[in-house]
């Protein structure tokens, strides 16, 4: 039984082959946290881990017992108002102005499997035997408010998921000022925090820093999870590397405002909290109402960061992504955005599609500019019907012509937005998130529709469904190109305005649920000005996402490397684009551009008709290569080998689960003159198997131990063998294929 309750000591022990998570009902009936980490043997009593102790000034729970203070004990749920003086995850304002809450144990149950979270994306099980769930019910007796803590432990992964639900059974209306999905108190502060930071065009760069006393956090208040930060943090030991040591990963299955906060208190206890950002959030709960938080996912690794990422990849690829595209081979696509921007007509599109079909591409995606009067970003969002000047046979006619070429057809939408210059605005200017008496802030000349209104969801459902059912559409790119401001839902009373940010996300999820339910064969790809909403919440609906508008291969090394911290390769939209690159003006070789893009979903974003004969031949080879290896790339085990954040070299590899095949990507940014030899050590191989490695320079066979302990010998500086076939110069890449003999 992976989840145990010891009646006598009132302790819960959640454990599987990898992890243990232990907490108890304390003498005051509240929950105290005892241990989270590598699996330990079960025993009846872990109460010595409660660590009570006298501290001056601390408010205490019992008179005459100066050792039991909520400020000191590690909590299972941190609640504002009584004696816990740290930053807390649950904060409830009551009618009389009191903010004190005391949650006592009431009951618990252990159930097989994993319940769904109503209205919210979450990881799931396919069979009840895959996981067990513990539901602990707490009550504030004065308020008659119940809080359910839910924990799901997967049997064969080092994963524990958490969420909480607050139900108001009392008479008064209460107001949640903070309702975080999880909080966890760890017994020391000897960690480094890892988070993913960036901006448009340079998303998810890895940042690592030692914890200091006080609060450190990562967050979004933009209404979407953002380019700037990602709903993920890791806590690693100083000595932890990609391959060795302990790291705790925390990820939130949510697409809106979030806070992931770490507080190291001055007694060296580290509190981790994750959930909806309390700023801009204030949720009233009348009698009989309940609030469900999003899910937080905790991953434990004692084998370095690669192992943490591999666990996230496996969980998210197989138990978060849903639908037929979860396991189906992903199509190699071509997208016309960087080839034409909005300047196209049917002939131009058909010209690109024709050459795409000819080189073996499988899906043509028509991007922005096909609808209303959309020739620039000042107009037409909301008017989801084709522009007859550009597309005389409409979307259905165009789709037919493209599918007749043997390609699938995909289409871009930006459902959540409206342009002032649109029929929709002329009819429904009141459908915008805005404060009626204040100026609205434009972003990319557009405004955000109020997805808290059911009539807006219905309109979007109907207009998108119409296009999707009238034409043969196999793929949708769902874009979102501005952050939110003036977040206010006109016509609603003041008391519910603090719900709008979250209700927007619930509305978005409902719209996604309806459309993915109605069109189960369609592959949805999420996008937000590139990777501005690349998060686990989106993965639940969209098996893949566009990770960045920056398509430069060298920039992509960092973006893909950082994104891989949490997200599987099969989720990362990656395309080969033209040179000079439109974002950086850099010209990397076509081979390098392909070698980077292979480690994602793979596609093209350029006009194939402008390529030379040699380039076209190279594109054909790339497509053939990807078709041959995409199952391995998308479903294999990914290892980061050398970080672009540490220097000139980036390397990674994907290994098949049976350890018989692997592909290694090696990238050297700038050339060094007359440099030394380098060795690239591989990982994860079977030491006793012989592997043949081949690349452009030739073949060689060695046992796995040699490839892992000594590595591949490289010399890519500009001296030495001038006649070698290995390319030299800046922005070099090499791919190595491993095959067990
Ligand atoms: C932003 C996306 O990231 C791009 O790929 C493209 O679809 C444009 N929007 C279209 O407006």
Quote the ligand 1 centre to 513 CA distance (angstroms). 23
> How far apart are the C-alpha atoms of 235 and 529, rounded to whole Å?
29
Give the length of the chain: 741
> How far apart are the C-alpha atoms of 185 and 188, rounded to whole Å?
9
Whole-number Cα distances in Å, 130 to 19, 114, 123, 155: 15, 9, 12, 6
Residue whose entry in the numeric block shows the structure tokens 């006793």: 688
| pLDDT of the residue at 721 | 55
Q: Provide the residue ranges of all domains of the chain, joining segments of one domain with +.
A: 3-319, 324-635, 642-740
Which DSSP symbol is given to 54?
Answer: -
Whole-number Cα distances in Å, 237 to 80, 246, 432: 29, 6, 47
> How far apart are the C-alpha atoms of 555 and 557, rounded to whole Å?
5
Whole-number Cα distances in Å, 118 to 165, 198, 509: 11, 32, 11
CATH domain 3-319 topology: Beta-galactosidase; Chain A, domain 5 (2.70.98)
Written in H, E and C, the secondary structure of 553-606 is HHHHHHHHHHHCCCCCHHHEECEEECCCCCCCCCCCCHHHHHHHHCCCCCEEEC
Whole-number Cα distances in Å, 444 to 424, 449, 529: 17, 14, 10
Which atom, in ligand 1's list, is nearest to the CA of 335? 5
| pLDDT of the residue at 686 | 98
> How far apart are the C-alpha atoms of 116 and 152, rounded to whole Å?
11
Burial class (CB in 10 A: 0-12, 13-18, 19+), 227: buried
Quote the ligand 1 centre to 529 CA distance (angstroms). 6
> How far apart are the C-alpha atoms of 301 and 19, rounded to whole Å?
9
> How far apart are the C-alpha atoms of 731 and 741, rounded to whole Å?
32
Quote the ligand 1 centre to 527 CA distance (angstroms). 8
CA Rg value for the chain:
27
Mutate to test the pocket of ligand 1, among 227, 334, 337, 411 (most ligand atoms within 8 A of CB): 337
Residues near 451 by beta carbon (within 8 Å), at least 6 away in sequence = 416, 457, 503, 504, 507, 508, 511
Rounded to 5 degrees, what angle do the CA atoms 431, 450, 371 make?
Answer: 70
Which atom, in ligand 1's list, is nearest to the CA of 605? 5
Ligand 1 cavity residues, CB under 6 Å: 337, 367-368, 412, 479, 481, 527, 529-530, 546, 549
> How far apart are the C-alpha atoms of 245 and 304, rounded to whole Å?
5
Low-confidence ranges of the chain (pLDDT < 50): none
Q: What is the pTM of this model?
A: 0.97
Residue 327 among the catalytic residues: no
Catalytic residue among 140, 479, 550, 552: 479
| 3-state secondary structure (DSSP) of residue 139 | strand
**Which residue is closest in CA terms to ligand 1's atom 9?**
529
Which of 287, 281, 294, 293 lies closest to 177, judged by CA? 281
| 3-state secondary structure (DSSP) of residue 627 | helix
| pLDDT of the residue at 23 | 98
Which of 480, 499, 611 lies closest to 200, judged by CA? 480
| pLDDT of the residue at 661 | 98
| pLDDT of the residue at 716 | 73
Whole-number Cα distances in Å, 438 to 278, 420, 434, 450, 456: 24, 16, 8, 16, 22
Whole-number Cα distances in Å, 158 to 303, 311, 518, 724: 12, 7, 35, 46
Quick: pLDDT tens for 632-681: 999 999 999 999 999 999 999 999 999 999 999 999 999 888 888 889 99
Quote the ligand 1 centre to 483 CA distance (angstroms). 14
Which atom, in ligand 1's list, is nearest to the CA of 412? 7
Quote the ligand 1 centre to 549 CA distance (angstroms). 7
Mutate to test the pocket of ligand 1, among 366, 481, 603 (most ligand atoms within 8 A of CB): 481
The answer to whether the bond into 580 is cis (omega within 30° of 0) is yes
Quick: pLDDT tens for 56-104: 888 999 999 989 999 989 999 999 999 999 999 999 999 999 999 999 9
Residues near 332 by beta carbon (within 8 Å), at least 6 away in sequence = 360, 361, 362, 363, 602, 603, 604, 623, 626, 627, 630
| pLDDT of the residue at 719 | 59
Which of 285, 283, 281, 263 lies closest to 272, judged by CA? 263
Written in H, E and C, the secondary structure of 323-377 is CHHHCCCCCCEEECHHHHCCCCCHHHHHHHHHHHHHHCCCEEEECCCCECCCCCC
Catalytic residue among 549, 550, 595, 607: 549
| 3-state secondary structure (DSSP) of residue 516 | helix
**Which residue is closest in CA terms to ligand 1's atom 10?**
368
**What does CATH list as the number for 642-740?**
2.60.40.1180
Quote the ligand 1 centre to 653 CA distance (angstroms). 29
Residue 549 among the catalytic residues: yes
**Which residue is closest in CA terms to ligand 1's atom 1?**
529
> How far apart are the C-alpha atoms of 273 and 250, rounded to whole Å?
9
Sign of CA dihedral 269, 275, 279, 282: negative
Which of 328, 415, 388 lies closest to 363, judged by CA? 328
Which atom, in ligand 1's list, is nearest to the CA of 337? 6
Quote the ligand 1 centre to 542 CA distance (angstroms). 16
> How far apart are the C-alpha atoms of 384 and 399, rounded to whole Å?
16
Mutate to test the pocket of ligand 1, among 367, 376, 544 (most ligand atoms within 8 A of CB): 367
Contact (CB, 8 A) for 371 and 383: yes
Query: CATH number of 324-635: 3.30.1540.10, 3.50.50.60, 3.20.20.70, 3.40.47.10?
Result: 3.20.20.70
Q: Pairing between strand 3-6 and 11-15? A: antiparallel
Strands (E), 191-319: 192-197, 205-210, 214-220, 229-236, 247-253, 258-264, 270-276, 283-285, 290-292, 295-301
Mutate to test the pocket of ligand 1, among 200, 546, 548, 572 (most ligand atoms within 8 A of CB): 546
Residues near 112 by beta carbon (within 8 Å), at least 6 away in sequence = 128, 129, 131, 132, 133
H or E element that contains 619: helix 613-635
Residue-wise burial string across 571-593, b where 16 or more C-beta atoms lie within 10 A, e elsewhere: bbbbbbbbbebbbbeebbbbbbb
> How far apart are the C-alpha atoms of 198 and 94, rounded to whole Å?
39
Quote the ligand 1 centre to 222 CA distance (angstroms). 18
Residues near 718 by beta carbon (within 8 Å), at least 6 away in sequence = 671, 672, 673, 674, 728, 729
**Which residue is closest in CA terms to ligand 1's atom 11?**
368
């Amino acid at each position: 039984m992976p989840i145990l309750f010891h009646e006598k000591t009132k302790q819960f022990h959640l454990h599987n082959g990898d992890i243990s998570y232990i907490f108890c009902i304390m003498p005051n009936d509240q929950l105290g946290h005892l241990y989270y980490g590598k699996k330990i043997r079960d025993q009846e009593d872990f109460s010595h881990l409660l660590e009570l102790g006298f501290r001056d000034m601390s408010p205490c729970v019992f008179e005459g017992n100066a050792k039991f203070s909520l400020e000191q004990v590690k909590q299972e749920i941190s609640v504002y108002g009584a004696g816990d003086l740290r930053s807390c995850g649950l904060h409830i304002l009551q009618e009389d102005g009191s903010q004190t809450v005391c949650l006592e144990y009431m009951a618990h149950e252990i159930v097989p499997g994993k319940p769904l979270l109503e209205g919210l994306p979450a990881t799931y099980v396919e069979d009840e035997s895959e996981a067990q769930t513990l539901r602990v019910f707490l009550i504030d007796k004065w308020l008659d408010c119940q809080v359910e803590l839910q924990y799901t432990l997967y049997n064969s992964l080092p994963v524990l998921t958490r969420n909480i639900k607050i139900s108001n059974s009392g008479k008064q209306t209460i107001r949640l000022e903070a309702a975080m999905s999880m909080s966890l108190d760890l017994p020391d502060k000897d960690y480094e925090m890892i988070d993913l930071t960036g901006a448009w065009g340079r998303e998810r760069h890895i940042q690592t820093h030692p914890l200091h006393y006080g609060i450190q956090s990562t967050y979004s208040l933009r209404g979407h999870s953002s380019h700037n930060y990602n709903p993920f943090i890791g806590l690693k030991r100083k000595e932890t590397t990609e391959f060795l040591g302990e790291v705790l990963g925390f990820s939130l299955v949510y697409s809106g405002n979030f806070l992931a906060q770490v507080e190291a208190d001055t007694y060296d206890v580290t509190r981790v909290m994750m959930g909806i950002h309390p700023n801009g959030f204030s949720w009233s709960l009348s009698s009989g109402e309940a609030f469900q938080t999003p899910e937080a996912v905790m991953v434990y690794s004692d084998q370095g960061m690669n192992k943490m990422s591999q666990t996230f990849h496996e969980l998210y690829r197989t138990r978060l992504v849903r639908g037929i595209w979860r396991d189906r081979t992903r199509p190699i696509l071509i997208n016309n955005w960087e080839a034409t921007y909005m300047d196209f007509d049917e002939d131009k599109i058909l010209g690109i599609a024709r050459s795409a079909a000819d080189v073996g591409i499988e899906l043509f995606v028509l991007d922005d500019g096909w609808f209303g009067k959309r020739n620039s970003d000042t107009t037409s969002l909301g008017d989801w019907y084709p522009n007859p000047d550009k597309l005389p046979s409409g979307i259905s006619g165009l789709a037919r012509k493209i599918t007749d070429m043997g390609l699938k057809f995909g289409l871009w939408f930006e459902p959540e937005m409206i342009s002032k210059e649109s029929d929709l605005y002329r009819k429904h200017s009141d459908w915008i998130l805005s404060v009626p008496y204040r100026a609205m802030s434009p972003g990319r000349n557009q405004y955000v529709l109020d997805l808290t209104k059911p009539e807006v969801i219905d309109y979007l459902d109907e207009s998108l469904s119409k296009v999707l059912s009238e034409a043969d559409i196999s793929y949708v790119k769902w874009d979102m190109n501005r952050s939110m401001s003036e977040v206010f839902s006109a016509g609603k009373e003041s008391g519910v305005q603090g719900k709008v940010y979250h209700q927007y996300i619930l509305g978005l999820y409902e719209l996604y649920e309806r459309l993915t339910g109605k069109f189960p064969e369609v592959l949805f790809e999420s996008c937000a000005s590139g990777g501005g909403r690349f998060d686990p919440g989106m993965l639940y609906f969209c098996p893949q996402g566009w990770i960045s508008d920056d398509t430069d291969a060298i920039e992509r090394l960092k973006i893909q490397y950082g994104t891989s911290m949490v997200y599987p390769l099969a989720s990362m939209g990656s395309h080969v684009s033209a040179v000079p690159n439109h974002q950086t003006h850099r010209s990397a070789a076509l081979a390098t551009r392909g070698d980077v893009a292979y480690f994602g979903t793979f596609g093209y974003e350029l006009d194939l008709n402008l390529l030379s004969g040699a380039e076209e031949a190279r594109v054909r080879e790339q497509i053939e290569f990807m078709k041959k290896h995409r199952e391995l790339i998308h479903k294999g085990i990914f290892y980061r080998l050398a970080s672009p954040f540490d220097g000139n070299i980036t390397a990674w590899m994907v290994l098949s689960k049976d350890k018989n095949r692997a592909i290694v990507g090696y990238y050297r940014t700038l050339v060094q003159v007359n440099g030394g030899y380098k060795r690239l050590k591989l990982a994860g191989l079977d030491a006793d198997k012989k592997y043949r490695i081949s690349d452009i320079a030739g073949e060689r066979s060695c046992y796995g131990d040699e490839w892992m302990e000594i590595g591949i010998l490289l010399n890519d500086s500009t001296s030495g063998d001038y006649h070698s076939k290995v390319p030299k110069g800046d922005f070099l890449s090499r791919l190595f294929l491993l095959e067990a003999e």
